[in-house]
């Protein structure tokens, strides 16, 4: 039986070309043009083998779609994801891979290269189910138990501060703005002059940093927000 693929891309002409080419090479490809249609397919249709995901979609950013897919239970959350984009910014590639994409192919591309990359990611072992315990060097974050330990010592955080840390840790390597953090933690838009997030970040740093005045785990990105470092010292 042919492996089923889902292509989420608003370029109708490109989609038709890819569907025809991959179908001729033994795959069964379905093409949808919005993120919402793609997520609906993933949740309700028969299981797919991989997702071809455009970065620039009309309704939801492709990076956000990638993150949402990875948050789904298996088998959807473990699907190989090949990101397609016309943007050449290397940071987009880095962020996409940090969020769980398996590979990244800039447009325009040769169909043969797409086929080769697709075959490569389909040969890889499937991803493990998302872990409830995150390990960053000496720092351990138990998402289910809602506990944080540094060098096996408990870090005392309020419920709000834990949610803030968990939000950043599950998006490690990605810069999050104050607005994004406030929305993720409380669902309430942040006021332009509200600096409560900064206060809470300071308290989280007091709990998890060796030297809160020179943080190594939660970095401030001037003018953008905060970054939780993915690779940390042992």
- For the chain (234 residues), the mean pLDDT of every run of 10, in chain order, is 91 95 96 95 88 93 88 82 76 66 86 91 63 88 89 88 91 87 64 68 95 95 90 66
Instruction: Write down the pLDDT at residue 215.
Output: 95
* 133-228 belongs to CATH 1.10.600.10: no
What pLDDT does residue 212 have? 94
Q: Please provide the CATH number assigned to the domain covering 3-123.
A: 3.40.50.2300
Domain boundaries, the chain: 3-123, 133-228
CA atoms within 13 Å, Cβ hemisphere of 64: 12
Residue pair 92/55 in contact by the 8 Å Cβ criterion: yes
The string of DSSP letters for 112-148 reads: HHHHHHHHHHHHSPPPPPPPSEEEETTEEEETTTTEE
Dihedral Cα 71, 72, 75, 76, nearest 10 deg? -100
Burial class (CB in 10 A: 0-12, 13-18, 19+), 207: middle
Backbone angles phi, psi at 28, to 5 degrees: -115, 105
Question: What's the confidence (pLDDT) of residue 190?
Answer: 46
């Amino acid at each position: 039986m042919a492996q089923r693929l889902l292509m989420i891309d608003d370029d109708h002409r490109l989609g038709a070309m890819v569907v025809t080419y991959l179908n001729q090479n033994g795959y069964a490809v379905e093409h949808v043009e919005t993120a919402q249609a793609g997520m609906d397919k993933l949740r309700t249709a028969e299981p797919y083998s991989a997702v071809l995901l455009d970065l620039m979609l009309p309704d939801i950013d492709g990076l956000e779609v990638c993150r949402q897919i990875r948050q789904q239970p298996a088998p959807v959350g473990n699907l190989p994801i090949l990101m397609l984009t016309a943007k050449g910014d290397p940071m987009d590639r880095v962020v996409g891979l940090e969020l769980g994409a398996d590979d990244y192919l800039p447009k325009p591309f040769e169909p043969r290269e797409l086929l080769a990359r697709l075959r490569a990611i389909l040969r890889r072992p499937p991803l493990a189910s998302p872990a409830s315990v995150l390990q960053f060097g000496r720092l351990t974050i138990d998402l289910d138990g809602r506990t944080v330990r540094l060098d096996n010592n408990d870090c005392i955080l309020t419920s709000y501060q834990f949610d803030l840390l968990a939000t950043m840790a599950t998006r490690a390597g990605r810069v999050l703005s104050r607005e994004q953090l406030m929305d993720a933690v409380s669902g309430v838009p942040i006021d332009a002059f509200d600096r409560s997030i900064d206060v809470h970040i300071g308290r989280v740093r007091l709990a998890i940093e060796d030297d809160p005045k020179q943080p190594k785990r939660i970095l401030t990105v001037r003018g953008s927000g905060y970054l939780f470092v993915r690779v940390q010292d042992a």
